[in-house]
């Protein structure tokens, strides 16, 4: 089967205590372990593997790597061949490189972002279990997010210099990792240049997204909530915790998602995201947004540009 879903994101944070407080009290994650290097590992209540977020101490914010889980260990060998056939160098990291995790296939996307694939991570179960479970656990903190849902990566794009790593990443993810395209933004004089793409391996509108920018970086990591009401409640939680909000609750045209964007104490952008939008399938026609309707695609209610949304990232 190959890649199944997003497994975890590893983020750099400048104040570990403040970061842990944010992810526990605002989003509702639970710390599952800490290691001798000072890294902290957390999970959401509706996830069954040991962690989906790694926080690492650093003097700057940003993404260390993103990891996706594959179905079988043998998939790593098959995918290594496909990745290297694409001209991308790979490294096999032995089991235990990350705690409670099997061997990993490590490589960089054309945009320079580090990606890892793995097949095994320690199973710990959800907070409600698998036998006669309640719909949610008691004692949820903050927004009570269900799971790490996706991330969006900013990719260097300079058409005048012939650089478009959005398009490069999109081809790589399709040809080497068997993702499929769900939505795209096309720009340029002929309206045929990919400035942003949303891609899936599951049935949700996106498991990863790429947007063009002045340089590569992390735009946001997103956590899933059930409903629009939960998104509004998450904004209340953020206000109570004095969390810096980037974009107040609204709807995307792209993916049809209901959303709020905000920052962790180091400046890494987060999203709480609700609404499955539509059933993503390989034979579903790709949705295309034109340059003149870009901001309606991003913020459907107002259709107005928010410059910080595309200019500020880590």
Give yes or no: 229 in active site: no
Spatial separation of the C-alpha atoms in residues 8 and 118, rounded to whole Å: 10
**Contact call for residues 197 and 181 (beta carbons, < 8 A):** yes
Is residue 252 annotated as part of the catalytic site, yes or no? yes
Nearest to 198 by CA among 187, 186, 209: 209
Nearest to 276 by CA among 200, 216, 187: 200
Task: Catalytic residue, from 206, 219, 258, 313: name it.
Answer: 206
Q: How far is CA 23 from CA 6, 13, 20, 279, in A?
A: 18, 12, 5, 29
Round to whole Å and give the CA distance between 79 and 233. 41
- Residue for token pair 């063009």: 212
Tell me whether residue 261 is one of the annotated catalytic residues. Answer: yes
Q: Which of left, alpha, beta for 125 (phi over 0: left; psi -120 to 50: alpha)?
A: left
Cα distances from 124 to residues 6, 48, 51, 94, 101, in angstroms, run 17, 6, 9, 22, 12
Of the candidates 8, 65, 150, 219, the residue annotated as catalytic is: 150
Marked catalytic residue, from 41, 118, 261, 313: 261
Q: Is 219 a catalytic residue?
A: no
Full DSSP string of 107-157:
EE-TTS-EEEEES-B-B---TT-SSS--SS-TT--TT----EEEEEEEEEE
**Is 8 known to be catalytic?**
no
Whether residue 113 lies in the annotated active site: no
Residues assigned a catalytic role: 150, 206, 220, 252, 261, 271
């Amino acid at each position: 089967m190959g890649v199944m879903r997003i497994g975890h994101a590893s983020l750099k944070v400048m104040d570990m205590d403040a970061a842990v407080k944010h992810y526990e009290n605002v989003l509702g994650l639970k710390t599952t372990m800490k290691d001798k290097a000072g890294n902290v590992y957390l999970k959401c209540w509706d996830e069954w593997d040991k962690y989906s977020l790694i926080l690492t101490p650093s003097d700057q914010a940003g993404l260390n790597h993103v990891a996706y889980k594959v179905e079988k260990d043998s998939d790593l060998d098959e995918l290594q061949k496909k990745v290297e056939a694409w001209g991308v160098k790979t490294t096999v990291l032995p089991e235990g490189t990350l705690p409670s995790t099997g061997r990993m296939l490590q490589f960089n996307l054309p945009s320079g972002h580090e990606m890892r694939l793995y097949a095994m991570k320690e199973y710990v179960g959800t907070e409600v279990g698998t036998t006669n479970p309640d719909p949610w656990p008691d004692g949820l903190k903050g927004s009570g997010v269900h799971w790490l849902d996706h991330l969006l990566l900013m990719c260097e794009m300079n058409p005048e210099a012939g650089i478009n790593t959005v398009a490069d990443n999109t081809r790589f993810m399709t040809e080497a990792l068997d993702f499929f395209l769900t939505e795209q933004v096309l720009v340029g004089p002929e309206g045929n240049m990919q400035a942003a793409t949303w891609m899936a391996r599951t049935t949700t509108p996106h498991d990863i997204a790429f947007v063009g920018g002045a340089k590569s970086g992390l735009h946001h990591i997103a956590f899933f909530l059930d409903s629009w009401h939960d998104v509004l409640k998450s904004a209340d939680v953020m206000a109570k915790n004095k969390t810096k909000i980037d974009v107040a609750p609204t709807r995307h045209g792209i993916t049809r998602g209901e959303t709020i964007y905000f920052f962790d104490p180091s400046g890494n952008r987060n999203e709480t995201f609700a609404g499955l939008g539509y059933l993503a399938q390989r034979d579903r026609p790709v949705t295309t947004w034109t340059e003149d309707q870009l901001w309606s695609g991003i913020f459907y209610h107002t259709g107005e540009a928010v410059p910080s949304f595309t200019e500020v990232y880590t």
